Amino acid sequence: MTSRTISRTSGLVDCLIQGSLVLSAVMTSRTISRTSGLVDFVAEVVLSFEQLKQLHAQILTNGEFNHTSLLTSFLSSSHKPQLILQHLPRQDPSLWNSMIRVSLERGDFGDFLDLYRGLRSYSFFPNTGTLSLVLRSCANLNATHLGKLFHSQIVKMGFEFNMILQTGLLGFYAKVGDLGSAQKVFAEMPERDVIANNAMIAAFSRHGCVKEAKQLFENMSERDASSWNSLITCYCKSSDVHNALLMFDQNPMKDVVSWNAMIDGYCKSEQLVKAEELFSRMGFMKNVVTWNTMIAGYVQCSEFVRAINLFQRMLREEVKPTEITMVSLLSACAYLGALDMGEWIHGYIRRKKIKIDFVLGNALIDMYFKCGNVEAAIQVFHGLYARNIFCWNSIIIGLGMHGYGKEAVDAFIAMEREGIKPDGVTFVGLLCSCSHSGLVSVGRSYFSQMKSIYGIEPGIEHYGCMVDLLGRSGFLQEALELIKSMPMKPNAVVWGSLLRACHKHKDAKLGEQVTENLLSLDPHDGGNYVFLSNLYASLNRWTEVDQCRKLMIERGVRKTPGCSSIEVENIVYRFVAGDTSHPQINVFLDKIAKELQAHGYKPDTTSILHDIEDEEKESVVRYHSERFAVAFGLMTMPPGRIIRIVKNLRTCDDCHAVMKFISNDYNREIIMRDRNRFHHFRNGYCSCNDYW
């Protein structure tokens, strides 16, 4: 078999897996050294352990154990590469180092530790490149203890004066938040080149030490482009874009990094116009980081549609997106509820074989959950090569948002079985899941175990979840007592949870007490007045409703207008409550109202804050924003398509009831995300079981 045949023949896969005859012929020739196809194949295909043993035997039989690139590719396909390395006839430290780097690059710390121990068992030393990657990995994973252990190893191996590793240590300590140790490493360096100085400026920048960064910069005898860029970034991170711009203008070594840093600074300070000006001025100098920075800036400033539009322009200009581009876009889709666009992005990721790491995988999970596709979120989760605490937290929080409280608890138990230690965010997700599903006893149990079993001190957010859980379930006095027992001062979120519970269970007396606390904490939050007004209105206490409205006017407080959005053919449409600019939709809503009333629907107008005639109240609730969105969906989307709506406020009781009627009468599944949670309406029922 010639080298040309090898590179062209797909049957080589079968030859490698099944036969020793053809493989032997290939290996005894000189084609291996000339043919990258075999190495590429071994790197890409995932073989079973038995197949790997057969291939290993052929490599040894034909004397190819000296071919480092082939062996590295071969070992990369093995689940336990250290076992095979130990049986090679001649030990090669470069192979061990290569495999350590492979394990780190794919995030497999278990393999990494086994391989490192194997390397040291032969009295081999890791090389400088390997140790640098170890330090970077420890920094990226925030593995502080492990990084410090390798600091000791570096000293014991005699690398304590190695400039590359000292700079790596400096970067490690800065990234894990130990600025003191970073400064100590820097101070003990026998000599400092421009790279070390830049690393220290970056460390100061990361911790907001602008004065120290500026002083070090001014004392540097030699500066390069990175020196200027590090200081520009430092000013930008501290929101001092004025001084950042002065440095940018003075910079004699201005490069694309300098421009990107300034664009990022303007975006972070929400000065999008200035960021866009720089972006336009760059012309053909722009690189993929420039595009990513601008897209991320739009997302940070809640300009989600503009972020998607810029991405589409990026594709038209044939700029290749990266994982970072995808993460920003998925965040935009998640906020907008733009599932079609999110699915297209996921498909693009697959087509372009973009690596789905923890961050991108987490963004996909979050997008699918927030766009209402629970099954796809779970599928992405199970498809990840490895799962960290952030992935598990996303699953637990996402399941809870959709009312799958029991499944969220099951996920928590599965996470523990995999040896992942929960953190504070995990318990926020777990307790919220219990709250949305009415799992009172389960929530009480986990809350009581947080400190005693898991060693996590409950924060104000955990108390807020418990107050919400107890209040929703009608345990108002227990919720009040919990607030009184809190070791910290309750905030507006905690009191707000109890006020919503008072409204739900029509306890006006307690609601008035709670509102007094709320208004003293945040007198300008319109939502607090609205909830109290709703409570009074539901009890027909119109004098108190008027008093609330007058107080709002006196204090300049405005109610946030209801706004709902729906995605149709990759375009996001937005509607506001009471909008009169859509006469066709208004007519269709009137038609729906008549049909529903014929089926027994009676409008619930208790949320109307005006003492007006019932007919007028019915007209007001009929034109809430989510009804415009669902009517537009029914008018424009083909039968059978799921209608997905995103609302900025909590949906009212009447709209919730109407969605159930519409799902049954029009045979449509409606998935609505309001400010609190998801509602899946099917066949006249909602997934929340009217518990929201």
Mean pLDDT of 558-569: 85
Q: Please indicate whether residue 163 or residue 65 has the higher confidence score (pLDDT).
A: 163
pLDDT at res. 262: 96
- Residue-wise pLDDT for 464-497, tens only, equals 999 999 998 999 999 999 999 999 999 888 988 8
| Residue 55 confidence (pLDDT) above 80 | no
- Residue-wise pLDDT for 266-280, tens only, equals 999 999 999 999 999
Residue 279 near residue 290, CB atoms below 8 Å: yes
Mean pLDDT of 192-214: 88
pLDDT at res. 615: 45
| Residue 370 confidence (pLDDT) above 60 | yes
Query: Which of 525, 484, 489 shows the shortest CA–CA distance to 500?
Result: 525
Confidence class for position 59, pLDDT limits 50, 70, 90: low
Task: Report d(CA 51, CA 39) in Å as an integer.
Answer: 16
- Residue-wise pLDDT for 222-253, tens only, equals 898 989 999 999 999 888 999 999 999 999 99
Confidence class for position 319, pLDDT limits 50, 70, 90: very high
Residue 196 near residue 170, CB atoms below 8 Å: yes
- DSSP codes, 73-123: HHHHT-S-HHHHHTT-SS--HHHHHHHHHHHHHTT-HHHHHHHHHHHHHTT
SS3 percent helix, strand, coil of the chain, rounded to 5, is 65, 5, 30
| Residue 442 confidence (pLDDT) above 50 | yes
Task: Report d(CA 82, CA 112) in Å as an integer.
Answer: 9
Task: Report d(CA 294, CA 311) in Å as an integer.
Answer: 10
Q: Please indicate whether residue 407 or residue 601 has the higher confidence score (pLDDT).
A: 407
First to last CA, the chain: 69
Mean pLDDT of 319-344: 93
pLDDT at res. 79: 55
pTM above 0.95, yes or no: no
pLDDT at res. 653: 84
Confidence class for position 24, pLDDT limits 50, 70, 90: very low
Mean pLDDT of 111-125: 60
Q: Please indicate whether residue 689 or residue 31 has the higher confidence score (pLDDT).
A: 689
pLDDT at res. 411: 96
pLDDT at res. 202: 86
| Residue 130 confidence (pLDDT) above 90 | no
Residue 228 near residue 262, CB atoms below 8 Å: no
Mean pLDDT of 531-538: 72
| Residue 182 confidence (pLDDT) above 60 | yes
Q: What is the overall mean pLDDT for the chain?
A: 80
pLDDT at res. 307: 95
Mean pLDDT of 260-270: 94
SS3 per-residue string spanning 410-437: HHHHHHHHCCCCCCHHHHHHHHHHHHHH
Percent of the chain whose pLDDT exceeds 70: 77
pLDDT at res. 34: 36
Q: Please indicate whether residue 345 or residue 561 has the higher confidence score (pLDDT).
A: 345
Task: Report d(CA 190, CA 450) in Å as an integer.
Answer: 47
Confidence class for position 84, pLDDT limits 50, 70, 90: low
pLDDT at res. 105: 62
Task: Report d(CA 181, CA 173) in Å as an integer.
Answer: 6
Residues 6+ apart with CB under 8 A from 482: 463, 466, 467, 470
Query: Which of 80, 85, 150 shows the shortest CA–CA distance to 121?
Result: 85
Task: Report d(CA 410, CA 396) in Å as an integer.
Answer: 9
- Residue-wise pLDDT for 540-561, tens only, equals 777 887 887 787 777 777 777 8
Residue 628 near residue 564, CB atoms below 8 Å: yes
pLDDT at res. 221: 87
**Which residue blocks in 374-472 are alpha helix, DSSP H?**
374-383, 389-401, 405-417, 424-437, 440-452, 460-472
Q: Please indicate whether residue 97 or residue 294 has the higher confidence score (pLDDT).
A: 294
Tell me which of 83-97, 427-441, 603-617 is least confident: 603-617
pLDDT at res. 652: 83
The number of beta carbons lying within 10 Å of the beta carbon of residue 149 is: 12
Confidence class for position 299, pLDDT limits 50, 70, 90: very high
Confidence class for position 114, pLDDT limits 50, 70, 90: low
pLDDT at res. 108: 52
pLDDT at res. 458: 95
| Residue 422 confidence (pLDDT) above 70 | yes
| Burial label, 290 (beta-carbon count in 10 A; 0-12, 13-18, 19+) | buried
Task: Report d(CA 389, CA 162) in Å as an integer.
Answer: 35
| Residue 65 confidence (pLDDT) above 50 | no
| Residue 3 confidence (pLDDT) above 60 | no
Q: Please indicate whether residue 114 or residue 490 has the higher confidence score (pLDDT).
A: 490
Confidence class for position 97, pLDDT limits 50, 70, 90: low
| Residue 507 confidence (pLDDT) above 50 | yes
Task: Report d(CA 461, CA 469) in Å as an integer.
Answer: 12
Tell me which of 89-103, 165-179, 347-361, 409-423 is least confident: 89-103
| Residue 663 confidence (pLDDT) above 80 | yes
